[in-house]
Amino acid sequence: MKTIIEPFKIKSVEPIRFTTKDERIKILQDAGFNPFLIHADDVLIDLLTDSGTSAMSSDQWAGVMRGDESYAGAKSFYVFEKAVKKITGDKFIIPTHQGRAAEKILFSILGGPGKYFPNNTHFDTTRANVEFSGAEAVDILNEVGKHPEQNAPFKGNMDVEALESFIKKVGKENIPFVMLTITNNSGGGQPVSMQNIKDVSSVCKKYKLPLFFDACRFAENAYFIKLREKGYANKSVLEICQEIFSYADGSTMSAKKDALVNIGGWLSMNDEELAMKCRNLLIVTEGFPTYGGLAGRDLEAIAQGLEEVVDEHYLQYRIRSTEYLGEKLMNNGIPIIEPPGGHAIYIDAKRFVPHLKPEEYPGQSIVCEMYIEGGIRACEIGSIMFGKYDNDGKLIPAMMELVRMAIPRRVYTQSHIDYVAEVVIEVFNRREKLKGYKITYEAPLLRHFTAQFAPL
């Protein structure tokens, strides 16, 4: 087989700034050893997130110029609506400025104290919106999904039996809907199988519960189904997407992921009464229902992005380039969550630096070292992000200590990825020398964004 190449030519380039190791040590120190506080201009390869960081195509930029900025009933809305309907098949399509805006509206209307929302794994904004409404967010992930070292094709699957027991336990009247996150972002970008989607949908039908998708990476999920699930190899990704959505009653979406744009989202559904309530709240919080917090040009870019994201050359390149980085690391003995997910590679910091205890923040140590070694910015997903304190002020560590390298869509080429692998391997080769960190400042909530550190 020949090399899988980037399925695009580059028309417009954005220079990246090179720094020396000494400069980076100073920059990191000034940022309190927190990469969130580094200026993006001081980063060579930015793998902090795949959200809103996609490169748009020339057709998307052309759409930006075509954008109709009429307040109500803009032409661009109908272009957007048609593109979203083509994929979801849903009757009511409501634009929002991000995924969390769609979540806020949905959970404000259907959440509240005494309610439960089962999901394979809630993403952090989803969980926050469920809990903000007073309801409880419940993760019901398949057992294999909880083990980073175990390899399985669909580690994002929900545990269907556990879902049914849960419904019986709390009562279906207390569950406004069931949610599936495709792919499972918090669980390593792992896909959900069509069989699992069907099984969850049957349980929902049995108890007359609606099923919603948190659909941020629906196209990546569909491509994994095509590659890994029997009976789908000869179906087009668009057909697979349409089948996926046919099992659900609605979706929330962050267009900053699989719509290949820098801002946007939607809320879709088939229930007319619910759609009316959502639109009424949308008008208060986001804007008129034909723009929902976005400009006409954003709606055009999303519509075009949805055409491009189901292109199989794009998806082959996308999934392969993530896997390629994963393979390079694994071949050098670097422990990662296996198999590689769709949008990111997750280093297992506990196995990378086993000499560091959770209270020495092993993930942060690797993140800082990757920046110093090669100007790469990654994100700790471990005890800094999810750690809590007990009554004596002792750290209750997170379940896993991970470092996430999220790959922006269509932004970096194979040589960038080769470089990333070289830097990580370099850091791994001197892993025994890596030191831990302590927190010198932290905010009461979401501390990972603003915390300051000092090396131990």
Residue 33 vs residues 18, 38, 196, 448: alpha-carbon distances, Å: 19, 9, 42, 11
Q: Tell me how far apart the 2 most distant CA atoms of the chain are, in Å.
A: 62
CB 182 → ligand PLP: shortest distance, Å? 8
The radius of gyration of the chain's CA atoms, rounded to the nearest angstrom, is 22
Q: Which residue, 60 or 184, has its beta carbon nearer to ligand PLP?
A: 184
Q: Which residue, 99 or 436, has its beta carbon nearer to ligand PLP?
A: 99
Separate counts of helices (H) and strands (E) for the chain: 16, 16
Residue 423 vs residues 254, 308, 337: alpha-carbon distances, Å: 31, 32, 19
Q: Which residue, 92 or 123, has its beta carbon nearer to ligand PLP?
A: 123
CB 219 → ligand PLP: shortest distance, Å? 13
CB 291 → ligand PLP: shortest distance, Å? 17
Instruction: Name the one residue in this structure whose structure tokens are 């400042």.
Output: 441
| Angle in degrees, 0-180, between the axes of helices 272-285 and 99-110, rounded to the nearest 10 | 120
Cβ atoms of residues 298 and 264 within 8 Å:
yes
CB 231 → ligand PLP: shortest distance, Å? 26
Cα end-to-end span (Å), the chain: 48
Q: Which residue, 213 or 453, has its beta carbon nearer to ligand PLP?
A: 213
- DSSP one-letter string for 396-426: E--S--EEEEE--TTT--HHHHHHHHHHHHH
The CB-nearest residue to ligand PLP is 99
CB 324 → ligand PLP: shortest distance, Å? 22
CB 103 → ligand PLP: shortest distance, Å? 7
Phi–psi pair at 212, nearest 5 degrees: -115, 145
Q: Which residue, 328 or 410, has its beta carbon nearer to ligand PLP?
A: 410
Q: Which residue, 346 or 428, has its beta carbon nearer to ligand PLP?
A: 346
Q: Which residues bind ligand PLP (CB under 6 A)?
A: 51, 98-100, 123, 125-126, 181, 185, 214, 216, 254, 256-257, 265
Q: Which residue, 67 or 264, has its beta carbon nearer to ligand PLP?
A: 264
CB 321 → ligand PLP: shortest distance, Å? 19
CB 453 → ligand PLP: shortest distance, Å? 25
Q: Which residue, 125 or 195, has its beta carbon nearer to ligand PLP?
A: 125
Cβ atoms of residues 252 and 110 within 8 Å:
no
Q: Which residue, 120 or 193, has its beta carbon nearer to ligand PLP?
A: 120
CB 45 → ligand PLP: shortest distance, Å? 21
Q: Which residue, 68 or 90, has its beta carbon nearer to ligand PLP?
A: 90
Cβ atoms of residues 272 and 87 within 8 Å:
no
Q: Supply angle C-alpha 154, 160, 161, rounded to 5.
A: 135
CB 33 → ligand PLP: shortest distance, Å? 25
Q: Which residue, 123 or 317, has its beta carbon nearer to ligand PLP?
A: 123
Please give the DSSP secondary-structure letter assigned to residue 51. Answer: S
Residue 166 neighbours by CB under 8 Å, 6+ apart: 116, 118, 138, 140
CB 318 → ligand PLP: shortest distance, Å? 15
- DSSP one-letter string for 304-357: HHHHHHT-HHHHHHHHHHHHHHHHHHHHTT--B-SS--SSEEEEEHHHHSTTS-
| Angle in degrees, 0-180, between the axes of helices 218-228 and 312-331, rounded to the nearest 10 | 80
- DSSP one-letter string for 206-248: HTT--EEEE-TTHHHHHHHHHHHSTT-TTS-HHHHHHHHHHT-
Burial string for 25-54 (b: 16+ CB within 10 Å, else e) reads: eebbeebbbbbeebeeebbbbbbbbbbebb
